[in-house]
């Protein structure tokens, strides 16, 4: 099987790194893009300092990836962020920041990459939503709303691309077992938290030939596997 070119955004974070590593283990060529700086000594297709909510920055990153690895077949939108903040403590600025980080990054990268993806057989877009988008708890309004927008983007784009060989799906994890979450919630029971490696396996399945009949879906990933 010919190695595909995979773009993973948010690729220097815990989940993004796990997803990129998983695709590379499958034999794919993976471009890693992030707002954070690229680690020292990284190859040209590891691109840091990119604001993916900016259309020109996204286009420049895609051009760099295409030159280094070829046209992408799979886009995985992981770039984003989280904040816990009540409306009384925050307000419109927080909501705007969450929408830029979680929704507009995905919108911009989808719009930038779709013309390339439709030229590739068996192409796929996988967006990272959140299980919390279905019902927001206290302090979760801005984050949940921005992730709900990701779900609606997934549904509408899948319908728009129904005539093309491009699947569009989203993965909705519950709490992910990351060093940051463990530090932020030191007293939590982590046994039910989802491992990044397990989310990566689901994403890789959605990008595989075995999932060609699945599009426009938001798939909840919720089973932890203990400490």
Query: Would you write out the chain's pLDDT as a tens digit for each of its 227 residues?
Result: 578 999 999 999 999 999 999 999 999 999 999 999 999 999 999 999 999 999 999 999 999 999 999 999 999 999 999 999 999 999 999 999 999 999 999 999 999 999 999 999 999 999 999 998 989 899 999 999 999 999 999 999 999 999 999 999 999 999 998 999 999 899 999 999 999 999 999 999 999 999 999 999 999 999 888 66
Q: At the fourth CATH level, which superfamily is domain 5-221?
A: NAD(P)-binding Rossmann-like Domain (3.40.50.720)
Phi, psi of 86 (to 5 degrees): -75, 160
H or E segment and range at residue 167: strand 166-173
β-bridge mates for residue 30, sequence order: 6
Give the number of other CB atoms < 10 A from CB of residue 133. Answer: 22
Predicted pLDDT of residue 179: 92
Residues 19 and 36: their CA atoms lie apart, in Å, by 17
Domain ranges within the chain, ordered by starting residue = 5-221
Residues 13 and 4: their CA atoms lie apart, in Å, by 22
Predicted pLDDT of residue 51: 97
- Residue 94 has which token pair? 């927080």
* Whole-number Cα distances in Å, 218 to 31, 47, 143: 24, 28, 17
The gap from C-alpha 56 to its chain's centroid, in whole angstroms, comes to: 19
């Amino acid at each position: 099987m010919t190695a595909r070119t995979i773009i993973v955004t948010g690729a220097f974070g815990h989940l993004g790194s796990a997803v990129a590593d998983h695709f590379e283990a499958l034999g794919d060529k993976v471009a890693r893009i992030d707002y954070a700086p690229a680690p020292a000594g990284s190859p040209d297709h590891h691109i840091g300092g990119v604001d993916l909510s900016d259309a020109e920055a996204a286009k420049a990153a895609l051009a760099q990836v295409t030159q280094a690895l070829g046209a992408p077949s799979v886009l995985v939108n992981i770039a984003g962020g989280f904040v816990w903040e009540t409306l009384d403590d925050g307000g419109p600025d927080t909501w705007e920041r969450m929408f830029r980080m979680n929704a507009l990054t995905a919108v911009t990268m989808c719009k930038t990459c779709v013309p390339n993806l439709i030229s590739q057989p068996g192409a796929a877009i996988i967006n990272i939503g959140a299980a919390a988008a279905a019902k927001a708890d206290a302090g979760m309004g801005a984050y949940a709303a921005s992730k709900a927008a990701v779900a609606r983007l997934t549904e509408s784009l899948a319908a728009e691309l129904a005539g093309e060989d491009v699947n569009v799906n989203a993965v909705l994890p519950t709490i992910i077992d990351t060093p940051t979450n463990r530090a932020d919630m030191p007293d939590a029971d982590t046994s039910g938290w989802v491992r990044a490696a397990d989310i990566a396996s689901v994403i890789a399945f959605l990008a595989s030939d075995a999932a060609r009949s699945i599009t426009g879906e938001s798939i909840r990933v919720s089973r932890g596997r203990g400490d």
